[in-house]
């Protein structure tokens, strides 16, 4: 049965999807990060000083994977990109817009 399901399906679609890279620009208004992950090694350690966004980046990856758009809007950043081992990538850009009422701002998400 497994052979029947795979017939005519490209090899890249039969392999497990893994994250190959995570990029975020202007996190908290100032940090740019690029994390290259090696899908073959399995474990990547992310380390750095407090307050540079390590946990926030992981929360954004989870939010993207689960479709939690509120979480994707809750942190200020310019763009957030996740590239998979197949080469497919999703990039999200926050577009700040001022609302006329109450001088409040909202971030619109643009998926690229």
Per-residue model confidence (pLDDT) at position 12: 59
Could you tell me if 28 and 53 are in contact, meaning their C-beta atoms sit under 8 angstroms apart? yes
* Predicted model pTM: 0.75
Per-residue model confidence (pLDDT) at position 9: 64
Q: Where are the domains of the chain?
A: 15-111
Strand ordering across the sheet containing 105-111: 31-36, 19-27, 79-84, 89-98, 105-111
Per-residue model confidence (pLDDT) at position 1: 44
* Residue 32 to residue 24: CA distance in whole angstroms: 6
Per-residue model confidence (pLDDT) at position 38: 84
Per-residue model confidence (pLDDT) at position 61: 95
* Residue 47 to residue 54: CA distance in whole angstroms: 7
**In a structure prediction context, what are the per-residue pLDDT tens digits for the chain, which is 112 residues long?**
455 555 666 665 667 788 999 999 999 999 999 999 987 777 888 889 999 999 999 999 999 999 998 899 889 999 999 999 888 999 999 877 655 555 555 556 667 6
Per-residue model confidence (pLDDT) at position 79: 94
């Amino acid at each position: 049965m497994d052979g029947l399901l795979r017939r005519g399906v490209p090899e890249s679609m039969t392999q497990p999807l893994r994250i190959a890279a995570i990029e975020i620009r202007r996190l908290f208004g100032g940090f740019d990060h690029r994390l290259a992950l090696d899908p073959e090694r399995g474990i990547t350690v992310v380390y750095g000083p407090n307050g540079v966004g390590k946990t926030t980046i992981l929360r954004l990856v989870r939010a993207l994977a689960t479709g939690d758009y509120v979480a994707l809007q809750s942190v200020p950043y310019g763009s957030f990109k996740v590239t998979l081992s197949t080469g497919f990538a999703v990039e999200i850009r926050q577009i700040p817009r001022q609302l006329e009422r109450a001088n409040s701002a909202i971030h619109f998400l643009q998926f690229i």
